[in-house]
Amino acid sequence: MEKIVVKGVKELRGEVNISCAKNSILPIIAATILCPEPIIIDNAPRLEDVEVICKLLSELNCDVNISNVNDRLTINTKNIVEMDANEELMRKMRASFLIMGPMLARFGYCKLSLPGGCNIGSRPIDLHLKGFKLLGAEVVIGHGFVEVRAKKIVGNRIYLDFPSVGATENIMMASVFAEGTTIIENAAEEPEIWDLAQFLNKMGAKIEGAGFGKITITGVKNLKGISYTPIYDRIEAGTFMIAAAITNSKIKINGVNEEHLRPVIEKLRECGIGFTNYKDHSIVVDGRGSKRPLDIKTLPYPGFPTDMQAQMMSLLSIVEGVSVITETVFENRFMHVAELQRMGANIKIDGRTAIIEGKPRLTGCEVKATDLRAGAAMILSGLVADGETVVNDVYHIDRGYVRIEEKFRNLGAEIYRINM
C-alpha cells in the first residue's frame, strides 16, 4: 500500500512544469476511434487514467504505443473490434464511457458496462443517452450494461439540462459523421471541450462554437490521421498556485493558460495572492502577503471549478476569518472535510455549504485521499501542518497528477512516497 509522507512546515521556492491536461487527453484518446489512420499525441502525461484508457483500446485490438521521446503516444484504431469493452477496466475509470460516442459514430453500435458512481457522486449518464437517442440511436439498459444501436446517425438539436462535460464530449464525437447538422445547446464550456473540438477539426471534422454554450457540428464523411499536443492541465496548475499561497511562498509555474484559470486566479487575488505573468505561458505566484477569507461557489466553467474546491478548502482552513464554500456541481464532494478536521481544521457542513473558520496552524496525522483532488488537498495541508502527515490511498492522486511528490520535492518540500 503506497503512502505519501509530508513534513511541515516548509516554504517553497523555484519552478514547476505543468503536464498536459488529464481531462483533455482522455476524450482525445477516445476520439482516435473515429479515424482508422495513425494518430500522434505528444506530451502525453504518464497517468493511471491514461494507462487505463490506452489498455482499453489495446483490448479492442488497437495499436497503442507510448515512447519516452516527447512522451509521444501513437494510436492506430484501424483494426478496432466491436467487442464488449472489459467490464473491470470500465468500472476502474468512468471516463472510459467516453468511447461510446465514437464507437456509435464508427460502427453504429456499442455495448459498455454502466460506469459506476464514485466517492463524489452518483455520476449519472442520462444526458449522454438523451443525446444518443436524439441522434437516432436505440438505447437498451439491462444487466449492468448499456447498449446503443443506430442504422444511421442523423443530426438533431440537443438541449443539455446541465452543461455536462462528458455528455457534451460524447455527443460531439457521436455526431461527427451524422447526416446533417447537430446543435448542442447549454453545452459545457470547459477549455477541455474546446481542446477536443480543435483536435477533431484538425482531423477534418466541422465543429463550431466549442467552448461556448452552443456547439454546431456539421457531419463529414471521414477523418484523417494527425499529430496533436493537448492543452496544459489547468487543475494541476491551480493546485500549485494554492501550494504557493498556503506555504507563503513565491514560485514560478510553467505551462499556464491564464484564461483557463481566470476563476481561480481572480479568487486567489481576492485572497491576497500576487500574480506576474510572462509571455511564454508561465506565471509567478507570490503567496507571501497576508490573506483574506473568501466566499466561493463551484460552478460549471467559466465559474470556479469543482476540481479546485478541496485544494481551496485546505488553504482557507488556515486563513484567519470565516470562509464559505458551496459545492453546486457534485452532490457528495466534501469527503475531504473529515480528513481536514482530523488535522485540526474548523469546518462545519450545512448541506452543500461548508463554513470554514481559519486556524493559525494544523497538525500532521494519518489522513486519506478520498478522491484525486482531495488527495492533492491533503498534501497541501501537510506542507503547513506541524509534524508529519501521512496520506493514504494515494492511487487516487496518481490518477490525475504526474509524479506529484517529485514536483513538490523539487520546490523544496520535504515529501516522499513509501510502500508499506
Write out the residues near ligand EPZ by the rule CB under 6 A. 22-23, 26, 95, 121, 123-128, 162, 164-167, 188, 306-307, 329-330, 372-373, 400
**23 annotated as belonging to a binding site for a ligand:** yes
The conformation of residue 380, written as its DSSP 8-state character, comes to: H
Angstrom CA distances, 231 to 110, 200, 324, stand at 29, 14, 31
Closest approach of Cβ 171 to ligand EPZ, in Å?
Answer: 10
Contact assessment for residue 355 and residue 347, using Cβ atoms and an 8 Å cutoff: yes
Closest approach of Cβ 169 to ligand EPZ, in Å?
Answer: 7
- Nearest position to ligand EPZ, beta carbon: 166
Number of residues that make up the chain = 420
Closest approach of Cβ 419 to ligand EPZ, in Å?
Answer: 25
**392 annotated as belonging to a binding site for a ligand:** no
The C-alpha atoms of residue 24 and residue 307 are separated, in whole angstroms, by 14
Sign of CA dihedral 95, 211, 402, 389: negative
Closer to ligand EPZ by Cβ: residue 252 or 373 = 373
**Which residue type, as a one-letter code, is found at position 156?**
N
**333 annotated as belonging to a binding site for a ligand:** no
Closer to ligand EPZ by Cβ: residue 200 or 385 = 200
| H helix runs in 230-363, sequence order | 234-246, 262-271, 309-316, 335-342
**127 annotated as belonging to a binding site for a ligand:** yes
Closest approach of Cβ 165 to ligand EPZ, in Å?
Answer: 4
Closer to ligand EPZ by Cβ: residue 312 or 362 = 312
Contact assessment for residue 111 and residue 70, using Cβ atoms and an 8 Å cutoff: no
Picking from 198, 187, 192, 248, the residue whose alpha carbon sits closest to that of residue 228 is 198
Closest approach of Cβ 129 to ligand EPZ, in Å?
Answer: 7
Angstrom CA distances, 332 to 61, 99, 121, 176, 306, stand at 37, 26, 5, 34, 11
Closer to ligand EPZ by Cβ: residue 298 or 323 = 298
Do strands 414-419 and 63-67 pair parallel, antiparallel, or not at all (unpaired)? Answer: unpaired
**262 annotated as belonging to a binding site for a ligand:** no
**359 annotated as belonging to a binding site for a ligand:** no
Closer to ligand EPZ by Cβ: residue 100 or 244 = 100
**Residues belonging to the active site:** 118
Among all chains, which residue has been given the C-alpha cell 440511436? 137
Question: Which parts are annotated binding residues for UDP-N-acetyl-alpha-D-glucosamine?
Answer: 94, 123-127, 307, 329
Question: Which parts are annotated binding residues?
Answer: 22-23, 94, 123-127, 307, 329
